[in-house]
Structure 1
Amino acid sequence: MAGFEIHRATKRRAKLRLGMSGPAGSGKTYSALLIAGGLGGRIGMIDTEHGSGDLYADLLPEGYDVLQLTPPYSPARYIEAIHALEDAGVQTIIIDSLSHAWTGEGGSLDRQGKIADKSGNSWQAWRQVTPEHNALVEALLQSRCHIIATMRAKTEYVQEKDDRTGKSVVRKVGLAPVMRDGIEYEFTTFFELDVHHMAFAGKDRTRLFDGTIFKPDMETGHQLLAWLDSGVDAPVKRAMSEEQRVEACNAISNANTLDELFKAFSLGYRAATALSDNEALAELTALKNERKAWLEAQHEPVGIAA
């Protein structure tokens, strides 16, 4: 019978995994920056919103760095951007926005459609695209940085009566985030913002915001940081096993596309980071860069089927 590890439930120190969705104009970028400012430390933003990340350059006293991500918005490129900011030494990564990885040019829906058109098999296309999406989710969950990911929300206009005037008014409301169904469950906390910049916690494992409607600010970041730091340190392991290391290196060296490469690297990176194995991390990163250069020299399309 397989052995299982059983341990007493213990709250451990953790990194923030915060998702935020809202319609256009709800203040997702602004709120994400304020919360990140409350967390403290160096902030890096992955900006897919055509330079909107630079619009708030004067918002935070310490400023923040911006990585401009342009099409194709494949999960692999998001993973590479996350690792680039990690290597640059940031403590909090804002992804503004994650929706492009799903609906943008070169995103998962775009890739699935192109693969299905070429093969004639929609189900087979999802079998190829889903692991790429899952690798991005793993990169978010396993990052050594705090992660704040904004998402656009599907919008709808509703007509309702104004309590003060008695007249009918049209109001814009946000619905589900523009991302793969169920993405909310991957985060520790998920805020839904409205056009008045007010937030409601649709999911909150911290229990700090249950049943409240509030405007996110730096104090929100302070509250989240206090909760994240209130646990005990996780036990530190020293190194990957030789078998893990060889398997990760082989997967990277044998990758035939950039998507395969970044999926393989993400899995190896996760294992090395979890074990605090900096030597293995350096080896895998060098191997990834070498394989990436070779693939690009072969004119491999960046994550998009021809």
Structure 2
Amino acid sequence: MTFTIRPAVRSKIGLLFGIAGASGSGKTFSALTLAEGIKGKDGKIAVIDTEAGRALHYAPKPGDTANPAKGTFDFLHLDFPAPFTPSRYVEAIKAAEDAGATVIVIDSMSHEWDGEGGCSDMAEQAAIAAATDRNGAVQAWKVDAMTAPSWKKPKQLHKRMMAKLIQTRTHLIFCLRAQEKIKFEKVRNEQTGKEKNEIRQLGFMPICEKSFMFELSGSMTMHPETPGQPRYDLQRKLNHDLQQIFPHGEQITIEKGERLRCWADTGEDRPPVDRIAEGVRELVETIQDASTMEALEAITGDKETIRRRKWLADNNRVDLADRITTAVNEALAAFSEDEGEEGAAA
């Protein structure tokens, strides 16, 4: 692989911004307010709604004109029912982009992790399937044993989704549910030397994959007691520039959305999407999803796959060719391991 080194220059970014909060914290209204500022004069807002149409409460009544000052906004609406798989989130965002959206509000992103068909649900169903014997009986002891392995596929799908979101040119605002969490800690009594469990309040925490909020361009958490205001005593990711836009306890406004867009648009244009690399990533995902050795052989033996691998080798895209080879070898190793386990069980 050849590395390229050049002077660092700030580039424009596609915003990935998260707003978390419990019910009544104002996250949906705040997200739409920011989106109104981000879109500018010629942009268009779309809302991907997993909440059974709740976002429509912020749409104007028939015959009325949207008025953000009175809590109504002009936006495209995409109803998004279960299953809430990571790949369907990517499909929904692509559909909103194809409809002309320049800023997309996803309400709620929490379902991707904790909703019907989301990552947690997929892991649970995989553990139950692995613990079910040939007669259809679920062996309870085995469910616990299979919990950790069952997370492999959901985590892989989540990582795929994040890789695609990071490449998105459209500005994305994620609304996430939050719930109060506690932590049990052992505390030693200095006089007696004995330990006891004490409860530590962690406050409202977003419902999502543990690193999701920190992979975004910026994120904040709101509290029902102070709706529409970022709270610095709760989980957040705001660098120095973003703290100037979103001071602690200051209401979200359209003007803040305009400033956020200017912050994202400062710098040189981003390089065009590498379509060849995108195609290789899709091929690698197809290889990873092969469920049988026969399916893997059909993929690797396909004329288009053979042609693509030869083209990469002939055109000095060795790094991409190696990604395909690595994916094939890992799939072969996994199938060999599965065959060994079946043989041992027999």
* TM, length-normalised to structure 1: 0.71
Shift of 1:129: 1.1
Aligned residue for 2:25? 26
Identity of aligned residues (%): 31
Aligned equivalents of 1:185, 1:85: Cα separation in 2: 24
Aligned residue for 1:189? 218
Aligned equivalents of 2:91, 2:213: Cα separation in 1: 22
Summarize deviations over 1:51-71 as a string: whole Å, max 9, x none: 111000135476001111111
Distance 1:118 1:151, change over 3 A: same
Distance 1:240 1:22, change over 3 A: closer
Distance 1:57 1:68, change over 3 A: same
Please, which runs of 5 or more residues in structure 2 have no aligned partner? 61-66, 132-145, 183-200, 292-346
Aligned residue for 1:6? 5
Match runs of 1:138-153 below 5 Å:
138-153=163-178
Higher alpha-carbon Rg: 2
Summarize deviations over 1:66-109 as a string: whole Å, max 9, x none: 11111111112111111111111110111000001111111110
Match runs of 1:122-271 below 5 Å:
122-155=147-180, 175-195=204-224, 196-197=226-227, 198-200=229-231, 202-205=236-239, 207-209=241-243, 212-236=248-272, 240-241=275-276, 245=279, 248=282
More off after superposition, 197-206 vs 41-50: 197-206
Aligned equivalents of 1:128, 1:89: Cα separation in 2: 32
Distance 1:176 1:246, change over 3 A: closer
Shift of 1:111: 0.8
Aligned residue for 1:72? 83
**One-letter amino acid of the structure 1 residue matched with residue 28 of structure 2:** T
Aligned equivalents of 1:247, 1:76: Cα separation in 2: 14
Distance 1:244 1:109, change over 3 A: closer
Aligned equivalents of 2:281, 2:161: Cα separation in 1: 20
Distance 1:220 1:136, change over 3 A: same
Shift of 1:26: 0.3
Aligned residue for 1:85? 96
Q: Secondary structure of 2:25's partner? A: coil
Tell me if the contact between 2:35 and 2:103 (Cα under 8 Å) persists in the aligned partners.
yes
Aligned equivalents of 1:140, 1:251: Cα separation in 2: 16
Distance 1:10 1:31, change over 3 A: same
Tell me if the contact between 2:204 and 2:223 (Cα under 8 Å) persists in the aligned partners.
no
Give the root-mean-square deviation of aligned CA atoms: 2.7
Aligned equivalents of 1:145, 1:96: Cα separation in 2: 16
Aligned equivalents of 2:278, 2:90: Cα separation in 1: 21
Shift of 1:175: 1.5
Shift of 1:250: 8.2
More off after superposition, 115-124 vs 63-72: 115-124
Tell me if the contact between 1:34 and 1:221 (Cα under 8 Å) persists in the aligned partners.
yes
Aligned equivalents of 1:247, 1:51: Cα separation in 2: 34
**One-letter amino acid of the structure 2 residue matched with residue 209 of structure 1:** Q
Aligned residue for 1:108? 119
Q: Secondary structure of 1:154's partner? A: strand
Aligned equivalents of 2:2, 2:128: Cα separation in 1: 46
Aligned equivalents of 1:141, 1:48: Cα separation in 2: 21
Distance 1:37 1:206, change over 3 A: farther
**Are positions 1:57 and 2:82 aligned together?**
no
Q: Secondary structure of 2:231's partner? A: strand
